[in-house]
Amino acid sequence: MNLVRAFCSQHHRFSTSPLESSSSIRWISPVQLSKASSKKPDPPTESIASSLEGRRKAKYISHDTAINLIKRERDPQRALEIFNSVSEQKGFNHNGDTYSTILHKLALSKKFGAIDAILRQMMYETCKFHEPIFLNLMKHFSKYALHEKVLEMFHAIRSIAREKPSLKAISTCLNLLVEANRIDLARQFLMHSRKNLSLKPNTCIFNILVKHHCRNGDLESAFEVVKEMKKAKISYPNLITYSTLIDGLCVSGRLKGAIELFEEMISKDQILPDALTFNVLINGFCRDGKVDRARKIMEFMKSNGCSPNVFNYSALINGFFKVGRFEEAEEIFYEMKSFGPKPDKVGYTTIINCFCRTGRTDEAMELLKEMKGGECRADVVTFNVIFGGLCREGRLEEALRMLERLPYEGMHLNKASYRIVLNFLCQKGELKKATSLLDLMLGRGFVPHFATSNELLVRLCNAGMADDAAMALFGLLEMGFKPEPDSWAILVDLISRERKLLSSFQLLDELIC
């Protein structure tokens, strides 16, 4: 059933553990104590314990202090104990802020039972609660795929906050359900909102439905939603509506229809495109290999007073790179540097990849230095591109030195960083260097890809490097790697032929275990 038609025809007392009240005892200086001890004291009229007790003063914890204590507490159970204990103070009543803080803390820790208990208590409170508490919980529950609870939190706005949900709350709830592809709950929610809230959907709500249909490739239903939108001023299509539709058309390869809709948006509805709308078209034409048309779109963009952003340039550079027109990709990059926005790491990485793929790794390294000297910091993706370029040019020693050095310079490499170099070392027969890299990799907590590990073991065996193969295997086993039976057979056979029977038995023990 179409979503538009569906639209046009849904708490355990928590345990408390009192927080001991702090006390303060009057401080006595050592000088005063020595003077007092030189005199004979009068007979005490009361016990020391009762004297101290009389001097104790309970410290009152305010709402702001309670909020700070809960926020700083890492243990959610302890945070809950703080929340419960402060409420036992004379004259203290929780307010919306303290409830919001503890609910957020519990949601982060997935303490859903405690959340239900607190929500039940909130129903009997006299303080005023506000909608953002429940919007925050809706997002948490959606993240944990508890979509029925998302609906519960929406309904709690009326039952606990005692106010009618706003259009923002309705849009948030609907968007979370649609994003999770829970169309059954979205239909139920829309029917409830229409019946019980007298919902008059605005453009934002309809845009959620348009996005859903476009994402699922159902463009006909998306256009039906737009027809419905045009019936009321409150829901008339806006730039987001058109951008979503244009993107849907581009993704489905209907570029002519995308351009026609783009022109209709400008001429009929007098809606001016922004950089995001242009980026949708640029990406669409680049994806289809029509990079010259994409470049004309950017020229049209500039001539009509809309300055291209870094995403527009990056999309165009990537498009020219993918069709093998590297020089033009480079030209666009330097145009961006000279006249456009400062390139970000995506733009730099795109052109660095272009250089590395065309055997110009030295130029790529210069750009890497440029990034380091500027405000744009290279990330692991950029360095992985560099590793690939160095290895393709046979500069394996340089790649190995970078792998060794970069973590000490604050760069967090990933498994792919090591695997790129390890694969090239295996292919080039540099097995000693490959085993050294494997040691470095395992020492830093990274395990090679299953196929790469097996290939390295087989190559070591075929090269007669039994000791190196055995050491590599034992290192991999300690990290939880289990090689293929063929790898075991080759290695056991090689060690046995070299009459290293003890090593063979050790390997067989590992195999049996």
User: Does residue 176 register a pLDDT over 90?
Assistant: yes
Please report the pLDDT score of residue 478 as a whole number.
66
**193: which 2 tokens?**
């909102």
Q: Is the pLDDT of residue 505 over 50?
A: no
Is 289 within 8 Å of 254 (Cβ atoms)? no
pLDDT at res. 443: 86
Whose structure tokens read 């007790």? 53
Q: Which position has the token pair 């919980």?
A: 137
Q: Which CATH number fits domain 1-19+58-199: 3.30.460.80, 3.60.150.10, 1.10.10.60, 1.25.40.10?
A: 1.25.40.10
**3-class DSSP state for residue 280?**
helix
C-alpha span between 443 and 125 (Å, rounded): 57
What's the pLDDT at 48? 34
Q: Is the pLDDT of residue 234 over 70?
A: yes
Q: What is the pLDDT of residue 42?
A: 44
Stated as kind and residue range, the H or E segment containing 311 is: helix 310-322
| Burial classification of residue 174, based on how many CB atoms lie within 10 Å of its CB (0-12 exposed, 13-18 middle, 19 or more buried) | buried
- pLDDT interval class at 346 (50, 70, 90): confident
For residue 27, pLDDT beyond 90: no
More confident residue, 31 or 393: 393
Structure tokens at 41: 């004291």
What type of residue sits at position 219? L
Percentage, residues of the chain above pLDDT 90: 48
Task: Please give the residue that has the higher pLDDT: either 400 or 449.
Answer: 400
Q: Residue 28 pLDDT more than 50?
A: no
Q: What is the pLDDT of residues 119-133, one digit of tens each?
A: 999 999 989 999 999
Round the average pLDDT of the chain to a whole number and report it: 81
* Domain chopping of the chain, boundaries: 1-19+58-199
Q: 8: Cβ–Cβ under 8 A, 6 or more apart, which residues?
A: 228
* pLDDT band of 491, cuts 50, 70, 90: low
3-state secondary structure of 38: helix
pLDDT greater at residue 118 or residue 464? 118
17-21, 319-323, 445-449: least confident range: 17-21
How confident is the model at residue 41, as a pLDDT?
41
Amino acid at residue number 382: T
**For residue 83, is pLDDT > 60?**
yes
Per-residue model confidence as pLDDT tens digits over 243-288 = 999 999 999 999 999 999 999 999 999 999 999 999 999 999 999 9
CA dihedral 139, 141, 142, 148 (to 10 degrees): -130
Q: What is the mean pLDDT of residues 170-197?
A: 86
Confidence of residue 102 (pLDDT cuts 50, 70, 90): very high
d(CA 358, CA 368): 16
| Res 293 pLDDT > 60 | yes
Check: CB of residue 215 under 8 Å from CB of residue 181: no
